[in-house]
């Protein structure tokens, strides 16, 4: 039974716990055992909180025995990205500069997970300060893709994505700034959602780029992602960018799984040169399948999407250069050179030199340059103008169609080490995902098959207007249902590696 528990969906685990078929403690222990078994290969976690997780599970079991009401995900284990604060666990953001730091408070999302009875197993690996597309930028070593341990699990939420794909946890939390939920979800063969910006609280999220950062769910099914989306979302007065509106009906949409009469636009700019042939083949098959399910599919041009990548790599580093100024060796975290002789300025310089990795330094320098006197208007200002044009492209598209679709990422998972010395090649992994972050609208990645060249997962992305997150779940669930009928089961069942 213990092995079977790690194979169940989150929705099924919640039902098993609620019925008493298995206790929350049994479910949690089964996943902790799975972590022990596969972590030497996957390295998805930076911190495993076994005792705390079992204590939380005991509380769920006590409430059930007392007849107290349980939430829809009570007793379900979860892997939490190490960028959200936890008062009972370290929060490092994958960086040496915060190694060992234990925050004095929980992030709003952490609080909501605990209140829902969700069991936090620990904190997952990530690209340092969420800057990367492979998890290779972590100061604590890379995570590995459960489908092929020689490949990356994507990034920056690669640890959470790998944990879900390897059945170490049925649910994960990631953050999406330029694609850091959807891209790792795609290459690990799972579901990943970027909610509408402001739909999930950023309070307690260590900031990379404040106008872009969006926490969201990772799961093995669309319904599980929707259940987690609903549990973690909602207005938060402590986050000034939080949307004061009801959470879209994402769970109902995931259960609807019907696209008949829906207008779907295929983004013309996201195909052709630079895209792996197997990715395009699986995507095109999925488009035909959606059409056969009753959707009206048309091609839609969003001409300014081609400028999203350069605009993003001016806006995000500019915000990062400001946000990361707080890591100054004076208040918390690493401190180097504090021997009573060095000045405060020297301590700060030495600490940042030792504490930040190469990619973080690269982006701080890019952002500082873009914001500097004489260059602000030419670079940062122009990038913000492009951002406006991209938003207008979305507005025009959504006057014609209900949702837009594209491949989630141009290629399947690439080998570890292949792109570490080529930042531009690394950045291209987020080519399709960045526009939704710049515009702040909703998007999801859902598995759509395996590329014939390498047998690795391919993701299809669904994009919808802001606060129309339910549309993304409706399309994703319909595609998931139709594809599983064709495959004879979930995509992960086809995995030859650990993801089974």
- Considering the candidates 95, 134, 143, 156, report the single residue annotated as catalytic: 156
- 194 tagged catalytic: no
Question: For residues 347 and 247, what is the distance between their CA atoms, to the nearest angstrom?
Answer: 46
Question: For residues 385 and 395, what is the distance between their CA atoms, to the nearest angstrom?
Answer: 15
Cβ neighbours, 10 Å, residue 323: 18
CA dihedral 250, 435, 319, 336 (to 10 degrees): 80
- Considering the candidates 95, 180, 233, 436, report the single residue annotated as catalytic: 180
Question: For residues 33 and 3, what is the distance between their CA atoms, to the nearest angstrom?
Answer: 9
Question: For residues 223 and 13, what is the distance between their CA atoms, to the nearest angstrom?
Answer: 13
Continuous segment of H or E residues that includes residue 184: helix 182-188
Closest CA to 133 of 443, 410, 463: 410
Contact 116, 379 (CB under 8 A): no
- 211 tagged catalytic: no
Calculate helix-pair angle for 222-232, 108-115, nearest 10 degrees.
110
3-state DSSP call for residue 98?
helix
- 96 tagged catalytic: no
Question: For residues 195 and 248, what is the distance between their CA atoms, to the nearest angstrom?
Answer: 10
Calculate helix-pair angle for 308-323, 358-371, nearest 10 degrees.
100
Contact 314, 427 (CB under 8 A): no
Instruction: Give Dmax (Cα) for the chain.
Output: 73
Catalytic residue ranges: 81, 156, 180
């Amino acid at each position: 039974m213990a092995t079977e528990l790690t194979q169940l969906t989150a929705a099924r685990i919640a039902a098993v716990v609620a019925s008493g078929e298995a206790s929350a403690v049994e479910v949690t222990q089964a996943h902790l055992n799975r972590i022990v078994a596969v972590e030497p290969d996957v390295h998805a976690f930076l911190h495993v909180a076994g005792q705390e997780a079992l204590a939380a599970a005991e509380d769920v079991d006590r409430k059930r025995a007392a007849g107290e009401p349980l939430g829809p995900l009570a007793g379900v284990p979860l892997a939490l990205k190490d960028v959200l604060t936890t008062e009972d666990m370290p929060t490092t953001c994958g960086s040496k500069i915060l190694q060992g730091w234990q925050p004095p408070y929980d992030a709003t999302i952490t609080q909501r997970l605990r209140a829902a009875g969700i069991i936090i197993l620990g904190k997952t690996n990530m690209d340092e300060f969420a800057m990367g597309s492979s998890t290779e930028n972590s100061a604590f070593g890379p995570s590995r893709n459960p489908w092929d341990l020689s490949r990356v699990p994507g990034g920056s939420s690669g640890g959470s994505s790998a944990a879900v794909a390897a059945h170490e946890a049925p649910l994960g939390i990631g953050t999406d700034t330029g694609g850091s939920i959807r891209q790792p979800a795609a290459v690990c063969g799972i579901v990943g959602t970027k909610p509408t910006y402001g739909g999930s609280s950023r309070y307690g999220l260590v900031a990379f780029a404040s106008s872009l950062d969006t926490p969201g769910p990772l799961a093995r099914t669309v319904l599980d992602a929707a259940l987690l989306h609903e549990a973690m979302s909602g207005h938060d007065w402590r986050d000034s960018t939080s949307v004061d509106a009801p959470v879209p009906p994402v769970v109902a949409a995931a259960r609807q799984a019907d696209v008949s009469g829906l207008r779907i636009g295929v983004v013309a700019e996201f195909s052709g040169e630079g895209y792996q042939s197997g990715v395009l083949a699986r995507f095109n098959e999925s488009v035909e399948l959606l059409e056969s399910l009753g959707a009206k599919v048309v091609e839609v041009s969003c001409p300014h999407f081609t400028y999203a990548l350069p605009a993003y790599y001016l806006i995000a580093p500019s915000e990062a250069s400001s946000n990361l100024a707080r890591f100054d060796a004076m208040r918390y975290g690493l401190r180097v050179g504090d021997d009573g002789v060095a000045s405060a300025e020297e301590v700060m310089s030495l600490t940042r030199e030792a504490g930040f990795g190469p990619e973080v330094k690269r982006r701080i320098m890019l952002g500082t340059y873009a914001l500097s006197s004489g260059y602000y208007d030419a670079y940062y200002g122009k990038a913000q103008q492009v951002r406006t044009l991209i938003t207008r492209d979305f507005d025009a598209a959504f006057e014609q169609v209900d949702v837009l679709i594209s491949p989630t990422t141009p290629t399947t998972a690439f080998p570890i080490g292949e792109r570490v010395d080529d930042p531009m090649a690394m950045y291209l992994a987020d080519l399709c995902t960045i526009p939704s972050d710049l515009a702040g609208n909703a998007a999801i990645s859902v598995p759509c098959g395996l590329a014939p060249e390498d047998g690795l997962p391919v993701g299809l992305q669904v994009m919808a207007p802001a606060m129309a997150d339910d549309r993304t779940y409706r399309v994703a669930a319909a595609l998931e249902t139709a594809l599983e009928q064709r495959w004879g089961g979930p995509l992960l069942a086809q995995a030859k590696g650990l993801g089974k």
